[in-house]
Amino acid sequence: MQPSEKLLLYNKAWVQDKLELDTTYFSDLAADQKPNFLWIGCSDSRVPANEITGTDPGEMFVHRNIANLVVPDDLNVLSVVQYAVEVLQVQHVIVCGHYECGGVKAAMSGKKLGLIDNWLSNISRAQAKHQAKLDQIPDPQARFDRMVELNVQEQILHLADTASVRNMWASHQIPSLHGWVFNLRTGLLNEVITLTPPGATQSPGPVLAQSRH
């Protein structure tokens, strides 16, 4: 049996399990989506958004790319952000990076890898911005971890500067922006930065539980 065939068999078993618990599960799922969260995460196979947050299908709108970047001229991520915040009106946007990120590691190495270098240059610019702080961290692993956190921080700042977020902040006081890092060594989510709409007294709506180191 081919590995892909195993996935199809697992899908059939998953469908059966869901229907045994709720016969209307898929008809309800097909009716509409009203997610409370937009998740912008890394494409890394070790960071499954729904599984590590305990969310079900329909609760989280998801976009993934290498190193969880929000690039100001990337129409893909900007389209996702616009649809999520203006049409779906999600209450929270989460940018989630992870320690041991291959994209961040590759950017920090300075090695030429080909086409992907164009994408990783966005991380290299963030590194250059914070190089003085990074140089003060003698341990290579700690420096790598800190760059992962700083990368998430930079993406949150990029998000806050998008027209979609600025417009929704002015008109609806949503969404709140959350920068998290997933710790592969512990399984925990660590908060790096949170930005709320200007003038908001508190983050609107529920926020997924997160834990620190």
Q: Which residues are catalytic?
A: 42, 44, 46, 98, 101
Q: Bin 123: left if φ > 0, else alpha if -120 < ψ < 50, else beta.
A: alpha
Looking at the DSSP bridge assignments, the partners of residue 61 are: 38
In whole angstroms, give the CA distance from residue 99 to residue 117.
Answer: 20
In whole angstroms, give the CA distance from residue 79 to residue 166.
Answer: 15
Cα–chain-centroid distance for residue 69? 8
